Structure 1
Amino acid sequence: MRKIGLLPRIIAAIILGIIIGSFAPIPVIKILATFNSLFGNFLTFTIPLIIIGFIAPGIGAMGRGAGRLLGLTAMIAYVSTILAGLLAFITANNLFPTMLYHQTIKQFENPESVLRKGYFSIEMPEVMGVMSALLISFVIGLGIAAIKGDLLLKAMNEFRDIVQLVITKVIIPLLPIHILGIFANMTAAGQVFTILSVFAKVFVMIIVLHLLYLIFQYVVAGSTQKQNPFKMLKIMSPAYFTALGTQSSAATIPVTLTRAKKLGVKEEVADFSIPLLANIHLSGSMITLVSCAMAVLFLQGKAITFASLFPFILMLGIAMIAAPGVPGGAVIAAIGLLESMLGFGQAMTSLMIALYIAQDSFGTACNVTGDGAITAITDRLHKRKTAS
């Protein structure tokens, strides 16, 4: 199974879950629900650790970088990520009432109340709340940067390695089983076909938004570099298709770096920006997470307003800093915000994970391809600041 990618495992889990939910007796569903309860509680326990383990060392390392170039790159990347979230919000807010008109709360009851319960559950309370973890991460990260704390940075990097080990060896391998259980339970409750129809519609919308946002990024980059944006996109296309296969921004860095230099970007700017952007620029992931979150909220019949989503988008842009370089890393980093800011329960979170991972490779491809545009814009602005 380790040789099979995460996406095929998720797809197999969904199909097997539907089959089991259609024919298996109630005791089998309850066994799966027991596993889901234990796994969900463990996931809740690890969320603050994930936030601290990745955000604190990420901010600390960034703050010790190459001054002006670091600040410029980080600012442009954050603005790009937030704009991507706003694009997803505006599009979903206008399309979902039509796209999902017959799939509101009247047909999709609250999963928490209709799904089968497990035989038992073990409470695994988190060591602190999500907001506390975020604040601690900022304090530690900014403190490391301010005092140049090499010892503390090393300790936080080692803590990050431990957390990433938990993600890669425990959470990611067990996710397909968790999703299998959720879909078996939803099939038994008669909800699964509504979910699958939503998957298809939201998936198509997300891919279209990815492509439109890449065009926007390269129109801006082309205007600053005085190049044809579509030729620039063609140059970066190998990075896009490499990311489709790897599902990892980090694993695609060598290809992204080579193609970015072919855009005419100064070598030292590309060498610095591309590895940094692989961790902090997640416009594709932002589009996917916001779109999927709004779809799940819409299914629940919950109000979706700009006032409730915009703070989530702003925090999500920070929470995904140095997200784990593993498939599905961005959604794992976002779980805490989904639960604390949007009120997601375990079933809703599981739907989000399934929705996200089903197109994770496309989101990653959008991220890394956009890195070329951000690097080109940074290169031009850095030249102007240096000249002045």
Structure 2
Amino acid sequence: MLKLLILVLIALLALFSNFIPTQIQALLYSISLSIKSILIFVIPFIVFTLTLSSSSNLKTNTFKFIILLLFTVCLSNLLSSLLAYFAGYIILKDTSVIPNIAQVKDDLSPLWHFKLPTMISNFQALFLGFVFGVILSYASPEKGKIIGDQLLKGALFFLKRVLSPIIPIFILGFVLKLLHDQVLSTMFNSYFISLIITTFVTYFYVFLLYGTANSFKIKDWLMSINNMLPAFITAITTMSSSAAMPMTLVGSEKNTKERDIIFSVIPATVSIHLIGDCFFIIILTLVIISSFNEHSLNIADHAVFLFFFLLSKFAIAAVPGGGIIVMLPVLEQYLKFSPAMLSLITTLYMLLDPIITSANVMGNGAFAMLFTKLYKKLKK
């Protein structure tokens, strides 16, 4: 419901932003920047909690199962990300880059600057959360589950009761900024075809994963996708992988006939195995960098970013736009994203969220099938 409200809000602003005085727009943009600073300050602590919970709360007592699951999730996310880089390179090669989009119009400047110090980095939070989570799940699964659940309960309370209500305000100022500077309209006019291609490439890859899981037997291939259609429709309409999880469990169980494995894999990977995020965030990142053309980045810069990008998948916040919110500090620190660039990728992510979420859900269904086949083969 909240995500739908945000999409409606963005649409209304696109229609009536010219009637809002510039000073009011600057005020709202300043508030959004302040909220962003608070988010970046708080996110490492949320990352620690979510990572500890996800790594300690795997519904299995088999350590080998946990290691295999984490390894295959990382491998799948890495493959999706590398393919996204390749697709992004092809898209940009065949697309005319907007020169210096940041100077399309006079910038809307904030009325004040508010910044909080960094207490702990995202990487430190990820590392500590993962290590403590794995230790707890291996040394004392029951106690680890209790601790993970309690910490998760506190984090979700903050996310749902404190963070979620201010997300529309957070988005509001950024959208006004993008509309005032004519960045959003320029991007959509120039890169609409690129976004369509990105959507096609993402779903084509997911489609191939289902083919691989079914040894490319056409009948089984189509049947497995058909079993996942309820989950796909739920993801499109709710824009939530968690809301679609019951349907994902049902569809994946039909596809594998392995209830025990599926009921361990899907809940554990629903928020960390994110094919849609991998494709869209990376391609959007490449498009925005090429459009703003503010910094010269080399392969090493992108390699470091990719490393932290993959680690961040273990700490996606369960709120609207959670996939991109966790990435804001990473984009700012390692790819030198300016406030305008962060505003743009946040807004584009929110607008494309139904497509991204549905790709995540369908990708999880394919992953569950492939993992089940691999696990059964190794177990033999």
Does the alignment reach a TM-score above 0.5?
yes
Q: Distance in 2 between matches of 1:265 and 1:75?
A: 23
Q: Distance in 2 between matches of 1:187 and 1:125?
A: 30
Residue 314 of structure 2: which of 318, 321, 325 is its match? 321
Residue 165 (structure 2) aligns with:
173
Structure 2 letter corresponding to 1:285: D
Q: How does 1:220-239 map onto structure 2 within 5 Å?
A: 220-223=212-215, 228-239=220-231
User: For residues 28-80 of structure 1, what are the alpha-carbon distances to aligned partners after superposition, in whole Å with 9 as ceiling and x for unaligned?
Assistant: 12221221232122112112122112112222334964333333333222211
Contact kept in structure 2, 1:298 and 1:304, CA below 8 Å: no
Structure 1 letter corresponding to 2:48: I
Residue 312 (structure 1) aligns with:
305
Q: Aligned in 2, Cα 1:266/1:187: closer, same or farther, shift over 3 Å?
A: closer
Residue 103 (structure 1) aligns with:
98
Q: Aligned in 2, Cα 1:30/1:371: closer, same or farther, shift over 3 Å?
A: closer
1:13 aligns with 2:9: yes
The alpha carbon displacement at 1:217 in A equals 0.8
The alpha carbon displacement at 1:171 in A equals 2.9
The alpha carbon displacement at 1:355 in A equals 1.2
Q: Distance in 1 between matches of 2:251 and 2:186?
A: 42
Contact kept in structure 2, 1:21 and 1:183, CA below 8 Å: no
Residue 327 (structure 2) aligns with:
334
Shifted more, 67-76 versus 259-268: the winner is: 67-76
Q: Aligned in 2, Cα 1:133/1:340: closer, same or farther, shift over 3 Å?
A: farther
Contact kept in structure 1, 2:57 and 2:144, CA below 8 Å: no
The alpha carbon displacement at 1:172 in A equals 3.0
1:288 aligns with 2:288: no
Question: Which runs of 5 or more structure 2 residues have no equivalent in the other structure?
Answer: none
Residue 188 of structure 2: which of 196, 211, 225 is its match? 196
Structure 2 letter corresponding to 1:372: G
1:66 aligns with 2:67: no
Residue 129 (structure 2) aligns with:
137
- Name the SS of the counterpart of 1:270 in structure 2: helix
Structure 2 letter corresponding to 1:328: G
Residue 337 of structure 2: which of 319, 337, 344 is its match? 344
Contact kept in structure 1, 2:35 and 2:170, CA below 8 Å: yes
Residue 148 of structure 1: which of 131, 136, 140 is its match? 140
Shifted more, 129-138 versus 86-95: the winner is: 129-138
Residue 214 (structure 1) aligns with:
206
Residue 44 (structure 1) aligns with:
40
Contact kept in structure 1, 2:30 and 2:110, CA below 8 Å: yes
User: For residues 129-171 of structure 1, what are the alpha-carbon distances to aligned partners after superposition, in whole Å with 9 as ceiling and x for unaligned?
Assistant: 2333233323433433454376566445433333332322333
Q: Distance in 1 between matches of 2:217 and 2:113?
A: 58
Contact kept in structure 1, 2:136 and 2:143, CA below 8 Å: no
Shifted more, 322-331 versus 148-157: the winner is: 148-157
Q: CA RMSD in A?
A: 2.8
- Name the SS of the counterpart of 2:314 in structure 1: coil
Question: Which runs of 5 or more structure 1 residues have no equivalent in the other structure?
Answer: none
Q: Aligned in 2, Cα 1:265/1:24: closer, same or farther, shift over 3 Å?
A: same
Shifted more, 127-136 versus 222-231: the winner is: 222-231
TM-score (norm 2): 0.88
Q: Aligned in 2, Cα 1:358/1:231: closer, same or farther, shift over 3 Å?
A: same
Q: Aligned in 2, Cα 1:37/1:327: closer, same or farther, shift over 3 Å?
A: closer
Q: Distance in 1 between matches of 2:74 and 2:217?
A: 21
Shifted more, 15-24 versus 46-55: the winner is: 15-24
Q: Distance in 2 between matches of 1:191 and 1:344?
A: 15
Shifted more, 222-231 versus 40-49: the winner is: 222-231
Residue 254 of structure 1: which of 239, 246, 260 is its match? 246
Q: Distance in 2 between matches of 1:65 and 1:298?
A: 47
- Name the SS of the counterpart of 1:263 in structure 2: helix
Shifted more, 204-213 versus 8-17: the winner is: 8-17
Residue 290 (structure 2) aligns with:
298
Q: Aligned in 2, Cα 1:282/1:18: closer, same or farther, shift over 3 Å?
A: same
Residue 365 (structure 1) aligns with:
358
Q: Distance in 1 between matches of 2:368 and 2:183?
A: 45
Q: Distance in 2 between matches of 1:70 and 1:227?
A: 32
Structure 2 letter corresponding to 1:67: F
Contact kept in structure 1, 2:236 and 2:355, CA below 8 Å: yes
Aligned residues: 379
